[in-house]
Amino acid sequence: MILLALLAAFAVGPPRTPPPHVSGVSVTPPPAWIDDGVRSKWLAYGGYCWQTQCVDFLPPAQRTLPVVAVQRGTRLTVHFRFSASDVTVRVGTRTVAAGSGSTIAWRARSGGILDVHARGPGGSASYLARIRIG
Partner 1 sequence: MKRFAGVLAFAAVVAAATSASALASHAWGTYHWARTANPFTLKVGDNLTGDWPGHLAQASADWNQSTVLQTTIVPGQARNKRCRPTSGRVEVCNGGYGFNGWLGIATIWIASGSTHITQGTVKVNDSYFATSTYNNPNEKQHVMCQEIGHTWGLNHQDESGALYYTCMDYFSNTGANATNSASTTPNQGDFDQLLCIYDPNSAGRTLTSTTSGISHSCTGTGHLDSTTTVGATAFGGNGAAEPPDWANPSESVYVDHLPNGETQVTFVRWANPIHAWAG
Footprint of partner 1 (CB under 8 A): 17-28, 31, 42-47, 49-60, 62-66, 90, 115, 117, 123-124, 126
Minimum distance from CB of 80 to partner 1 (Å)?
15
Q: What angle do CA 48, 18, 65 make, to 5 degrees?
A: 55
The closest alpha carbon to 98, from 118, 79, 112, 81, belongs to 118
State the nearest-atom distance from the C-beta of 6 to partner 1, in Å: 32
| Cβ proximity to partner 1, 21 vs 73, nearer residue | 21
Q: Minimum distance between the CB of residue 90 and partner 1, rounded to whole angstroms? A: 7
Nearer to partner 1, 4 or 58 (CB): 58
Residue placing its CB nearer to partner 1 in the complex, 71 or 93: 93
CB-nearer residue toward partner 1: 64 or 71: 64
Q: Of 84, 89, 133, which Cα lies nearest the Cα of 108? A: 133
Q: Which helix (H) or strand (E) holds 5?
A: helix 2-10
Strand duo 40-42 + 33-35: pairing: antiparallel
CB of 78 to partner 1, least distance (A): 15
Length of the chain: 134
